[in-house]
Amino acid sequence: MTNEKILKVNHLKKYFEVGKNETLKAVDNVSFEIFKGETFGLVGESGCGKSTIGRTIMGLYNRTGGEVIFDGDNVHELTDKDKFAFHRSMQMIFQDPYASLNPRSTVKEVIAEPMEIHGIYKDKKERLERVYELLEEVGLSRDHANRYPHEFSGGQRQRIGIARALALDPAFIVADEPISALDVSVQAQVVNLLRKLQKEKGLTYLFIAHDLSMVKHISDRIGVMYLGNMVELTESNQLYKKPLHPYTQALLSAIPIPDPDLEEKRERMILEGELPSPINPPTGCVFRTRCPFAMKACASVTPKWQEVEDNHFVACHLYNDEIKDKTPVKELAYQ
């Protein structure tokens, strides 16, 4: 990891118009930065806006507000010429490699397609050599080139997806739950492969996941999302040692500990209440309806995004000195 910022996300908003006159706030005022060469983990439960952030960063979605700056350029204001170069430098790996690979194309065709579209390695033989090279880089072999995706296991298919993403030599990869669909035994192999490739090529990853158990081993820093908002962001170790936001504390307490004695003593913080709808999110702090510490201010004041310790950001009134009355009010929570 370097201290050069490759990506800056400033006050990003992505709203969807749904139904009649209804707005779904999938991403609401989210800010963070990613350093060149780091793995930035983005976690939070289903529907909190992780994929939407990924897709908006890649320019696949227009933004409703805020900006995404990649390598100094505003992703949503690129000229057509710059767009082409941008799409080469930012690639995506998906959760379900099978769904994202065309079943009628051979592995060779799947991996060569981005090169064709971008007109690199125009010479057929050269392109094929590049495909072989990529297959070997992801732990497959050139013998696999003429087979079809369905002939492979889940882990191997994800390797094909990774080879395809690498075909254009990108600098930045959005990995959207790349291991969630894989057997636990295979997950570690794919993670190790991603690590190896990162080291070799100086890649930067935005690694999306819905729980914290794997992400902590992979990420340099982690951002925790809840209902379209970023609620906490810090270095992985720090997040595990000292989670500040009650939502992060709940997510962490849900991870089983491999030691049976410790596991028995583990205190679980179960989140009560249902996840509110992003169409009609709670006023003030969006987490307050499930927060055991909800206080009066939480219903009316949106928590500030503050750096409460070095490189440790949180949006929670528990850490806001301007709020004097921190008595929990049961009625605000769980309603």
Ligand X SMILES: Nc1ncnc2c1ncn2[C@@H]1O[C@H](COP(=O)(O)OP(=O)(O)OP(=O)(O)O)[C@@H](O)[C@H]1O
Q: Which residues bind ligand X (CB under 6 A)?
A: 16, 18, 24, 26, 44, 46-52, 210, 278
From the list Mg ion, ligand X, none, partner contacted by residue 210 (C-beta under 5 to 8 A by kind): ligand X
Question: Which residue has 């596991």 as its token pair?
Answer: 263
Residues 6+ apart with CB under 8 A from 143: none
Question: Which residue has 């490189």 as its token pair?
Answer: 311
From the list ligand X, Mg ion, none, partner contacted by residue 16 (C-beta under 5 to 8 A by kind): ligand X
From the list Mg ion, ligand X, none, partner contacted by residue 18 (C-beta under 5 to 8 A by kind): ligand X
The smaller minimum CB distance to ligand X, of residues 48 and 315, is found at 48
The smaller minimum CB distance to ligand X, of residues 37 and 282, is found at 282
From the list ligand X, Mg ion, none, partner contacted by residue 206 (C-beta under 5 to 8 A by kind): none
The one-letter amino acid at 91: Q
The smaller minimum CB distance to ligand X, of residues 95 and 236, is found at 95
From the list ligand X, Mg ion, none, partner contacted by residue 97 (C-beta under 5 to 8 A by kind): none
From the list Mg ion, ligand X, none, partner contacted by residue 59 (C-beta under 5 to 8 A by kind): none
Closest approach of ligand X to the CB of residue 127, in Å:
34
Closest approach of ligand X to the CB of residue 53, in Å:
7
Site string for Mg ion, 146-185 (x = CB under 5 A): ----------------------------------------
The smaller minimum CB distance to ligand X, of residues 51 and 289, is found at 51
Do the Cβ atoms of 150 and 97 come closer than 8 Å? no
Do the Cβ atoms of 166 and 137 come closer than 8 Å? yes
Closest approach of ligand X to the CB of residue 67, in Å:
19
Do the Cβ atoms of 294 and 285 come closer than 8 Å? yes
Tally: H helices and E strands in the chain: 12, 12
CA–CA distance, 306 with 314 (Å, rounded to integer): 6
Closest approach of ligand X to the CB of residue 265, in Å:
30
Six-digit token string for 165: 């993403």
CA–CA distance, 132 with 65 (Å, rounded to integer): 43
The one-letter amino acid at 209: A
Provide the 10 A C-beta neighbour count for residue 195. 15
Burial of 51 (0-12, 13-18, 19+ CB in 10 A): buried
> DSSP state, 330?
G
From the list ligand X, Mg ion, none, partner contacted by residue 204 (C-beta under 5 to 8 A by kind): none
The smaller minimum CB distance to Mg ion, of residues 51 and 289, is found at 51
Closest approach of Mg ion to the CB of residue 46, in Å:
7
Interaction between residue 51 and Mg ion (CB under 5 A) = yes
Interaction between residue 52 and Mg ion (CB under 5 A) = no
The smaller minimum CB distance to Mg ion, of residues 168 and 275, is found at 275
The smaller minimum CB distance to ligand X, of residues 52 and 248, is found at 52
From the list Mg ion, ligand X, none, partner contacted by residue 47 (C-beta under 5 to 8 A by kind): ligand X
Query: Could you tell me if residue 334 is left (phi over 0), alpha (psi between -120 and 50 degrees) or otherwise beta?
Result: left
Q: Is the CA virtual torsion 166, 172, 174, 178 positive or negative?
A: positive
Do the Cβ atoms of 4 and 35 come closer than 8 Å? yes
The smaller minimum CB distance to Mg ion, of residues 73 and 211, is found at 211
CA–CA distance, 13 with 196 (Å, rounded to integer): 34
Closest approach of ligand X to the CB of residue 191, in Å:
18
Provide the 10 A C-beta neighbour count for residue 201. 15
- Which residues sit at the interface with Mg ion, rule CB under 5 A? 51
